Amino acid sequence: MEYEILGLPVWYYIAMVAKVLVVFVWVLLTVAYATYAERKIIGHMQVRLGPMRTGWHGLLQPIADGLKLFFKEEIIPAEASTFAFLVAPLIALVPAFISFAVIPFGSTITVGGYKIPLQIAAFADKSGGVVDVNVGVLYILALSSLGVYGIVLAGWSSNSKYSLLGGLRASAQMISYELAAGLSLITVFMVSGSLSLQTIVADQAAFGWYAWRNPFLFAAFIIFFICSLAEINRTPFDLPEAETELVSGFCTEYSSMKYAMFFMAEYANMITVCAITVTLFLGGWHGPFTDAMPLLSPFYFIAKVYTLIFTCMWIRATYPRYRYDQLMGLGWKFFLPITLVLIVGNAFWINVIGAGNWLGGLFA
Partner 1 sequence: MLNVASPLINGLKITLQHLFKKPVTLQYPTERPVVGPRFRGLHALNRFHDRSKCVACYLCPTVCPAKCITVEAAEDPITHEKYASRYDIDILRCIFCGYCVEACPVDAVKMTENFELANYKREDFAYTQEMLTDKK
Are the C-beta atoms of residues 281 and 187 closer than 8 Å to each other? no
258 vs 239: CA distance, rounded Å: 20
Size of the site for partner 1 (CB under 8 A): 14
What type of residue is 357?
N
Output 59 or 317, the one with its CB closest to partner 1.
Answer: 317
Cα-Cα-Cα-Cα torsion 181, 192, 293, 108, nearest 10 degrees, comes to 90
To partner 1, the closest distance from the beta carbon of 43 in angstroms equals 7
Output 203 or 238, the one with its CB closest to partner 1.
Answer: 238
Residue 110, phi then psi, degrees to nearest 5 = -115, 120
The answer to whether residue 317 forms part of the interface with partner 1 (CB under 8 A) is yes
241 vs 235: CA distance, rounded Å: 10
Q: Which of 43, 77, 345, 356 binds partner 1 (CB under 8 A)?
A: 43
Per residue, the 3-state secondary structure of 94-109, as one string, reads: HHHHHHHHHCCCCCEE
| Listed residue (277, 129, 144) closest to 200, CA to CA | 277
Output 208 or 331, the one with its CB closest to partner 1.
Answer: 331
To partner 1, the closest distance from the beta carbon of 236 in angstroms equals 10
Judged by CB under 8 A, which stretch of 44-52, 142-150, 166-174, 351-359 contacts partner 1?
44-52
Q: Which of 48, 68, 161, 323 binds partner 1 (CB under 8 A)?
A: 48
To partner 1, the closest distance from the beta carbon of 37 in angstroms equals 12
Judged by CB under 8 A, which stretch of 41-49, 57-65, 82-90, 351-359 contacts partner 1?
41-49
Q: Between residue 49 and residue 78, which ones bind partner 1 under the rule CB under 8 A?
A: 49, 52
Q: Between residue 250 and residue 309, which ones bind partner 1 under the rule CB under 8 A?
A: none
Q: CA separation (Å) from 61 to 113, 203, 205? A: 43, 41, 39
Output 70 or 319, the one with its CB closest to partner 1.
Answer: 319
Those residues with Cβ within 8 angstroms of residue 36's Cβ, 6 or more apart along the chain or in another chain = 51, 58, 59, 61, 62
The answer to whether residue 323 forms part of the interface with partner 1 (CB under 8 A) is no
The answer to whether residue 226 forms part of the interface with partner 1 (CB under 8 A) is no
To partner 1, the closest distance from the beta carbon of 334 in angstroms equals 9
Output 48 or 161, the one with its CB closest to partner 1.
Answer: 48
- Strands (DSSP E) contained in the chain are 4-5, 8-9, 108-111, 114-117, 122-124, 130-132
Output 57 or 115, the one with its CB closest to partner 1.
Answer: 57
Residue 115, phi then psi, degrees to nearest 5 = -80, 130
Q: Which of 13, 83, 289, 319 binds partner 1 (CB under 8 A)?
A: 319
The answer to whether residue 314 forms part of the interface with partner 1 (CB under 8 A) is yes
Under DSSP, the state recorded for 75 is -
Are the C-beta atoms of residues 278 and 308 closer than 8 Å to each other? yes
The answer to whether residue 336 forms part of the interface with partner 1 (CB under 8 A) is no
Q: Which of 10, 21, 44, 125 binds partner 1 (CB under 8 A)?
A: 44
Residue 213, phi then psi, degrees to nearest 5 = -65, -50
Instruction: Give the interface with partner 1 as residue ranges (CB under 8 A).
Output: 41, 43-49, 52, 314-315, 317-319
